[in-house]
Structure 1
Amino acid sequence: MTDTIDTGIGNASGHGFLSRARTVAAPGFNRWLVPPCALAIHLCIGMAYGFSVFWLPLSRAIGITDPVACPNLSLLGALTTTSCDWRVSDLVWTYTLFFVVLGGAAAIWGGWLERAGARKAGVVAAFCWCGGMGIAAIGVAMHQLWLIWIGSGVIGGIGLGLGYISPVSTLIKWFPDRRGMATGMAIMGFGGGAMIGGPLADLLMKHFASATGVGVWQTFLVLAAVYFVFMMAGAIGYRVPAEGWAPAGWTAPTSAKASISRFNVALSDAHRTPQFWLVWLVLFFNVSASIGIIGIASPMLQELFGGRLIDAPGVLFTAFDDDQKKAAAAVGAGFVGAISLFNIGGRFFWAWLSDRIGRKPLFATILVAGALLYGLAAPALAGTTLGLFILVFCILASMYGGGFATAPAYLADLFGTKYVGAIHGRLLTAWSTAGVVGPLLVANMRDRAIAAGVPRGDIYPPIFWVLAAMLVAGFVANLFVRPVAAKFHMPADDAPRAVETVAGGTVAAETGTSPIVIFAWLAVGLPILWGIYMTLSKALILLK
Structure 2
Amino acid sequence: MIPPAALAIHFSIGQAYAWSVFKTPLEKALDISGTASALPFQIAILVLGLSAAFGGTLVERKGPRWAMFVSLVAFSSGFLIASLGVATSQYWLVIFGYGVVGGIGLGIGYISPVSTLMKWFPDRPGMATGTAIMGFGGGALIASPWSSQMLSSFGSDTSGIARTFLVHGLAYAAFMTLGVLLIRVPADGWRPAGWVPREETGKQLVTTANVSAKNAVKTPQFWLLWIVLCMNVTAGIGILQKAAPMIQDFFQDTDAPVSATAAAGFVALLSLANMTGRFVWSSVSDMIGRKNIYRLYLGAGALLYLTILLGKNSSTALFVVAAMVILSFYGGGFATVPAYLKDLFGTYQVGAIHGRLLTAWSVAGVAGPIIVDAVADAGKKSGNSGPGLYAVSFYLMIALLVVGFIANELVRPVNPKFHEPEPVASAEQAAPAEQGEAQDKKDEARDEQGEARDEQDEEGGADGVPAEKAVPAEKGKG
Q: Aligning the two structures, in what range does the TM-score lie when normalised by the shorter sequence?
A: 0.7 to 0.9
Distance of aligned partners of 1:119 and 1:457 in 2 relative to their CA distance in 1, 3 Å threshold: closer
Greater helix content: 2
**C-alpha distance 163-270 of structure 1, shift in aligned 2 (>3 A):** same
Matches within 5 A, 1:348-497: 348-375=279-306, 377-452=307-382, 456-458=386-388, 460-492=390-422, 493=426, 494=430, 497=433
2:126 equivalent in structure 1: 180
1:359 deviates by 0.9
1:378–1:461 Cα contact (<8 Å) kept:
no
Between 1:487-496 and 1:171-180, the stretch displaced more is: 487-496
Match of 2:227 in 1: 281
The answer to whether the aligner puts 1:339 opposite 2:339 as a matched pair is: no
Contact 1:242 1:500 in 2 (8 A): no
CA distance in 2, matches of 1:301, 1:59: 17
Code of the residue aligned with 1:218 in structure 2: it is: R
Aligned partners of 2:12 and 2:435: how far apart in 1? Answer: 34
1:474, CA displacement in angstroms? Answer: 0.7
1:65-108, Cα deviation, whole Å (9 max, x unpaired):
xx5xxxxxxxxxxxxxxxx7666654432112111111110111
Alignment deviations for residues 224-254 of structure 1 (CA, whole Å, 9 cap, x no partner): 2222222222123221122222212222232
Matches within 5 A, 1:276-315: 276-310=222-256
| Match of residue 457 from structure 2 | none
Partner of 1:22: none
The 3 A distance-change label for structure 1 pair 180 and 305 is same
- Give deviations 1:251-281, integer Å, cap 9, x for gaps: 2232444332212211111101111101000
Change (3 A) 1:193 1:478: same
Aligned to 1:35: 3
Pair 1:215–1:119, CA change in 2 (3 A): same
Of the candidates 211, 218, 222, which is equivalent to residue 272 of structure 1?
218
Aligned equivalent of 1:506: none
Whether the 8 Å CA contact 1:252–1:495 is kept in 2: the answer is no
Task: Report if aligned partners of 2:249, 2:386 keep a CA contact under 8 Å in 1.
Answer: yes
Superposed CA offset, 1:504-535 (max 9, x none): xxxxxxxxxxxxxxxxxxxxxxxxxxxxxxxx
**Structure possessing the higher radius of gyration over alpha carbons:** 2
Percent identical: 48
CA distance in 1, matches of 2:255, 2:246: 12
1:461 offset after TM fit, Å?
Answer: 4.4
Distance 1:156 1:308, change over 3 A: same
The amino acid that maps onto 1:40 is: A
Q: By how many angstroms is 1:424 displaced?
A: 0.9
Offset, 1:441: 2.1
Question: Residue 153 and residue 414 in structure 1: after superposition, are their counterparts in 2 closer, same or farther (change >3 A)?
Answer: same
Deviation at 1:309, TM superposition (A): 4.7
In structure 1, how many angstroms separate the alpha carbons of the residues matched to 2:347 and 2:126? 13
Asked whether the equivalents of residues 247 and 499 of structure 1 are also in contact (C-alpha less than 8 Å), the reply is: no
CA distance in 2, matches of 1:464, 1:137: 34
Q: Indicate if the aligned counterparts of 1:171 and 1:182 stay in contact, CA closer than 8 A.
A: yes
| Residue 188 (structure 2) aligns with | 243
Answer whether contact 2:87 2:159 (CA < 8 A) is retained: no
Unaligned runs of 5+ in 1: 1-32, 61-66, 68-83, 311-323, 502-544
Alignment partner, residue 118 of structure 1:
64
Structure 1 residues 89 and 296: CA distance shift in structure 2, 3 A: closer
Residue number in structure 2 paired with 1:109: 55
Return the alpha-carbon distance in structure 1 between the equivalents of residues 318 and 148 of structure 2: 31
User: CA–CA distance in 2 between the matches of 1:52 and 1:451?
Assistant: 21
Confirm or deny that 1:192 pairs with 2:138: yes
2:34–2:373 Cα contact (<8 Å) kept = no
Paired letter, 2:372? V
Output the amino acid matched with 2:368: G
Deviates further, 233-242 or 438-447? 438-447
Measured in 1, the distance between the counterparts of 2:295 and 2:59 equals 31
1:300–1:56: structure 2 CA closer, same or farther, 3 Å change rule?
A: closer
**Alignment pair present for 1:223 and 2:168:** yes
Q: What secondary structure, in the 3-state scheme, does the structure 2 residue paired with 1:214 have?
A: helix
CA-atom RMSD, angstroms?
A: 2.8
CA distance in 1, matches of 2:284, 2:33: 43
- Distance in 1 of aligned mates of 2:107 and 2:270: 24
2:35 and 2:374 in contact (8 A); partners too: no
SS for the counterpart of 2:19 is helix
Call closer, same or farther: CA 1:129–1:328 in 2, change over 3 Å.
closer
Gapped runs of 5+ residues in structure 2?
438-478
Using the TM superposition, give the Cα deviation of residue 330 of structure 1 relative to its aligned residue in structure 2, in angstroms.
Answer: 4.4
Structure 1's 303 and 45: CA in aligned 2 closer, same or farther, altered over 3 A?
Answer: closer
Partners of 1:373 and 1:349 in 2: how far apart? 19
* TM-score calculated relative to the size of structure 1: 0.72
What is the CA distance between 1:167 and its match in structure 2?
0.6
CA contact (8 A) 1:98 1:156 kept: yes
Code of the residue aligned with 1:35 in structure 2: it is P
Residue identity opposite 2:277 in structure 1: G
Q: 1:49 aligns with which of 17, 29, 44?
A: 17
Shift of 1:307: 4.3
2:105 to 159, 162, 184: 159
Q: 1:91 to 1:369 in 2, by over 3 A?
A: closer
Q: 1:388 to 1:499 in 2, by over 3 A?
A: farther
Matched, 1:138 2:69: no
Partner of 1:315: none
Of 276-285 and 200-209, deviating more is: 200-209
Q: Give the number of equivalent residue pairs.
A: 430
Q: One-letter code of the match for 1:409?
A: A
How far apart in 1 are the matches of 2:319 and 2:249? 13
AA in 2 matched with 1:261: T
The separation in 2 between residues aligned to 1:298 and 1:115, in whole angstroms, is 40
CA distance 1:231–1:301, shift in 2 (3 Å):
closer
Q: How does 1:508-523 map to 2 (within 5 A)?
A: none
Distance, in Å, in 2 between the alignment partners of 1:153 and 1:240 is: 30
Which sits farther off after the overlay, 127-136 or 177-186?
127-136
| Structure 1 residue 415, shift from structure 2 partner | 1.3
Structure 2 letter corresponding to 1:483: P
Using the TM superposition, give the Cα deviation of residue 447 of structure 1 relative to its aligned residue in structure 2, in angstroms: 4.2
Q: Could you tell me which amino acid in structure 2 is paired with residue 236 of structure 1?
A: L
1:452: Cα distance to partner? 4.8
Q: 1:491 to 1:149 in 2, by over 3 A?
A: same
The change in CA–CA distance for 1:179 and 1:465 in structure 2 (over 3 A counts) is: same
